[in-house]
Amino acid sequence: MIPAATDLVLGPRAISYGEPSGEDDETDEGSVLMTLRSVEAGDVIGWANIELDGQSARLDTRGPDELQVTYELILLSGAWLIETAKARGITLFAWGLKPAETPMDIFEL
């Protein structure tokens, strides 16, 4: 018998973008919300719901364990966010000490 699937939810992770403006230093925010589900012993599926500047996507992957699936979702989500920001001409984490150029940069800040 297969145990009931339980979800592990990671996030949401706020993704700041745009230039800080004037006195309030507010920027807009997108988000990444990851969900992991054990389908059966040894098989985990995960998906990330991502939103940035009105555009959204759902990415998914499978792997042997939660750590592998989480790592792959971080890479996929980071790449999507960087490419989407470039296409829209917006800056991710404008207040940061360094620009977000690689997928892992998104989750360092």
pLDDT tens for the chain, 109 residues long, are 445 557 899 999 999 888 766 555 566 889 999 999 987 766 899 999 999 999 999 999 999 888 999 999 999 999 999 999 999 999 998 887 788 889 998 888 5
Is 14 inside a domain boundary? yes
* Alpha carbons 77 and 61: distance in angstroms, whole number: 11
Q: How many domains does the chain have?
A: 1
Is 17 inside a domain boundary? yes
Place of tokens 């699937």: 5
- Partners of 43 in beta bridges: 40
Is 1 inside a domain boundary? no
**Domain that residue 35 falls in:** 7-108
State both tokens at 34: 């990851």
**Sheet with 43-52, edge to edge strand ranges:** 7-21, 26-40, 43-52, 55-63
